[in-house]
Every structure is written in C-alpha cells, then in structure tokens.
A and B are shown apart, each in its own frame.
Chain A
Amino acid sequence: MLAFLVQRISQAILVMFVISVIAFAIQDGLGDPLQQMVGMSVSEEEREAIRDEMGLNDPLVVQYLRFAGNAVQGDLGISYFYGKPTLDVILEHLPATLELAIGASLIILFFSVPIGVYAAIRPQALLSKFFMGVSTVGISIPVFLTAIVLIQLFSIGVTVDLFPADTGWGQNLNSALSTEGGLPSYGRGDELTHLFGTWHSGFFSQGGLLHLILPAISLASIMLPLFIRLIRAEMMEVLQSDYVRYARAKGLQPGRINFLHALKNTMLPVITVGGVQIGTMVAYTILTETVFQWPGVGLMFLEAITRSDIPLIVAYLMVVGLIFVITNTIVDLIYGLVNPTVKLTGKKA
C-alpha cells in the first residue's frame, strides 16, 4: 500500500511539474511584462536596466525556478485587468462555480440512481427503453444548446399558436405547449448570503436558488446520460453475481436485494468514474457559465482570454491543474484502498 501511495503521489508531483512548465512557457512566450509597465518614452538602456532588475535576462531555468517558487507560496502574479493578485481573483470567482457544480451533482445523483437502477432491473420495460433512448439523444446534444433551449422555454417563454384558437381543443393544445418563462437566465442575482471569506452563497435565498435552476439543469443534462448508462451497466453485472442470486433464493425482499445489497456494490465503480469525470465537468462549466453569464471561474477564464490577461490565464491553468491532479490522485487512492486487486504497479489490466 505504501508503495502504491508513494507511486501515485510522485506521479501527481510529476504531472504538476509538467503543468507548471507549460504555464511558465505560456507566460514567457506571450507576455512581456515590461511592455505593460513602462511607456513609449523609456529608453532602451533604461529598459535593459529594468529587465536586469526584474531578472528577465536571467537564464530560463533560473526564471522558471523563481516562477515555481512563487507559485508554491501562492503568488501567481498580478492580473492585468483586475490589478489584484490572480489567486485572489480566482478565489473570488470559485464559490460561484462550486455552487453550480454542487447543484448539478445533486440533480445527477437524484435522477441517475433511480433511473439507472430501474433500467437495470427491468431492461425490457417500455419506460427503461424510453430512458435509454433519451440518454442516447442526450449525449448528442451539446451543453450550450440545452442551455439555450432551456432559456427559450423557461426564461423567455414560448407562445404556440399552431392550432386554431377558436376551438376548445386547439386552445387547450396551444396553452399546453406554451411555456410561461420568467426564470432568471443571467448571473446569480443579488440576494447572496455572505458565508465566510470570499464565499457569497446563493443557496440560502429564493432569488439565489431561482438563478441556480437553469444553469444547474443544463450542466447536469450533459453528465446525466453517462451516469444513467454507467449505473445501469454496473447494476446489471452485479445482479448476475452469485450473492444476489443467493439472496433471491433465500427469499429476501426484492427491494432489499436491489437497493441494499446490489446497489452498494454498484456505486463503487460509479464513484470512481464520477471522480474522473470532474475534469469533464470543469470544461462544461466554462460553457454553461458563458451561456448564463454565471460569474464563476469559467467565465472569468474566458474573459481573461479575450482581454489577453496572461497572468490570470496562467493562474487559472495552475489552479485547475492542481484541482485535477488532487482529485485524480484521491480517486486512485480510494480505488486502491477499497479494491486491493488493483495492481501496485498502477498499470490498468
């Protein structure tokens, strides 16, 4: 176990090193801090002097070591646009993204488990086939498109007048197909509760929760089909196993077998795969936040690109890289702990 631990952690450090080299290369290749600092009137000799003073003429290795040393101490430079340390800017925007991710995860959890289990227990039922069909279609719909459709339906509202309005059934159909709209589709609203530090939460007010509905559903919609399929596949495999058949033969209640005995062993692979999906989730938050102008780190990153705010881009890369590496390592370790058959060399069988 110790060997496994050491191996995983050293791999995590190696990956973090590669990320920091990439980040440093971006910073070095794209930004000339001197251009941002001094005006046109500064002479070439003075520029050269400042360069020397700032260490920009040092060998690249020395510059990298300085960059990495600062990064370890939490100093990732000053954002051009905000004029503040980039880490502070990211920490200000992080709670919004976290709340969006938490909201979406709750939706995924509440829907994928019952639907996946149901589709596994009754694979031939019409409802299961319907769910599986919807999830195939769901995988083909990009997250931003779901978001746009949701905005059209529930924020702007749709008025249908396809059917003749002078007949009773026509009017009923029209009103049944029309939607009210009115849900907020922009930002987080202003009813935020201050929790601690930079965390302003939208969970504790009606306005905040209303603003969360559409973005969270959009973000959940893209991951939901994947989890439904995964839970269904794992559950079907578990249902074939000997201990489940034994429990059935013993005459236990089907509900007890399915939800207590079988589900427990289904959730393990689901949790580990889910952990790996965090990376995908971060990518999708960028898209969701762009559609809903949700003031999280994804939108901040995209704005940093349009503003060519290099220090902020680099800092985002480092922070997101760190989050990925930490979650992946933890997921690996948990998997190694609960499933001792994982080879210690870490090679996937």
Chain B
Amino acid sequence: MFQYILKRLLSTLPVLLGISLLLFFMLRMLPGDPAQVLAGQMASQEDIKNIRQQLGLDKPIFVQYGIFLSRLAKLDLGRSARTQNPVIKEVWARLPNTMLLAVAAITLACLFGIPAGIISAVRPYTWIDYLFTSMALFGISMPVFWLGLMLVVIFSIILQWLPAGGTGSWKHIVLPSFTLAAFVVAFITRITRASMIETLSQDYTTTARSKGLKERVVIIKHALKNALIPIITVVGLQFGLLLGGAVLTETVFAWPGLGRLIVDSILARDYPVIQGTILIFGLLYILVNLVVDLLYAYIDPRIRYA
C-alpha cells in the first residue's frame, strides 16, 4: 500500500510542474510589464521596482522561472494589488467557506443521487426510473446560477423562509448548497444507475439471490459494493466540478469564498490573487483525485497489487 501511495504521489509531480508553468506564463502572456501588472495600476515606481527585483525580471527566463518556483514552494505569491495583503492570507481566509459549501453540496448530492440511482437500477424502465433519469437530465441542463436565482425568488422573496445571501447561520448555507448539489446530483444518479444495472446482472448477484439472501442484502452488500468504484470516481470528479460551479453559486449568494474572490480579482485585474486562487483550485483538484485513487485501492485490493 505504501508503495502504491508513493507511486501515486510521484505521478502528481508532472501535473504540479505543469500548473506552475501555466501560472508563470499566464503573467507573461499579458500585454505590458509583468511587474506593473502585478503591482496594479495605482502602484508607485518604487513598488514596481521592488517587484521587478523580487521576480528577477532582468534575468533570463529560466532564472525567472526558478525564482518563481522557489517562491511558490514557500507559498509566497506576493501581495494583492487591491488590499496589499499577502495573497496567501487572502486565499486561506476564503478557503474554509468554499470547502464548507462544496462538502455540504456533495453530501446532499450523494444523499439524493446514490439512492435515486439504486432505485432506478432496481426498477429500470418504470415510472420511477423515468422520473429520476429525467430529473438528472434536467439537473445537467439547468444553469446553476439561474437555479440559484429562482430559489432566491421562491424561498427568500415569496416565502421569506431563507436568507437570499451572505453567511452567519445554518440557514445561509441551505440555498447555496442545494443549488450546487443540483449541479452534480445528476451525474451521481446516472453513474449509480448504470453501475448498479451492470453489477445486478453479474453472476455473483444471481448466486447471492439463489442462496436465498434478502433482496436488500443482495443490493447493498453484493451489488452496491461492487458498483462503488465508478461511483467514487464520479463523486471525486464532481467535487472538482463543484469548485467550478462554486464560482457562480458564490456570486449568486454573495458567499465569501474562493469563487467570488477570483471573480472580483479578475474584474479588478488583481493578478497576484488570480494566480493564487487558480493555484489553490488546482491543488485542491489534485488532492481530491489523489484521495479518490487511495480510496480505490482501499475498496478494491486488485488495484493495489496490479
């Protein structure tokens, strides 16, 4: 198992290197002086000169990349052009909010999507299957930001049950997490259904049934357990997608997370913060995939020994 983890960790290195290259060249693709871009439009000549020295902009590009990498390793991403706070401080302050929203949404999506997928698979081509698969298709096709606004109209404006935005109590997270969950529940329902249909037709399921086991035991212990790998893959991938959807959901509900931070930073051309947020999103995505891979190995020992 240790070897497997080590191998999997090493395989993330090229991707990390790729992300660093992407961030490095992102700034250099912009028109104008990178030091001026990083310092912001209000910066003094002194500030620009300092940044130029820090980044080694007068040195060859390889040296500049080396400096960039060493700063990245220390999580030194400079200061925000708007607030002058260290970028990492800005990003860390918002990260828990985004994680809270994403975890709440993925939990809701699993709580609905997995049972819906199982029911659809157990009763294929019946009205309940059509209901769940139609709901899944609607979920995939619906713009998440529109759904959020419509929920605000219904639950905040008309019924006045829940707040339209902001943070503070458990009530504030209900609408954003529902909105974000609707974004991914469709994929989870669909993959659970497909995976369960496959495992329910396998010989070991027939054997379990012929042994006289209860249908509930056959479905949960024999079919679902073997259907978990693709489900976990999709849940992992969707967690990454949630981070993308969080950008829109956080904007709709004025949720102070990373998504809103990146949008505000793009609008204000605050490039150090844009770089920092993109880096954190990339790292989070890699981390989630890593956890998913480790879960595979835990669930299916064949993967470990392959």
Please determine whether chains A and B interact with each other in the same assembly. Answer: no
- Chain B residues within 8 Å of A, Cβ to Cβ: none
Residue numbers of A with Cβ under 8 A of B are none
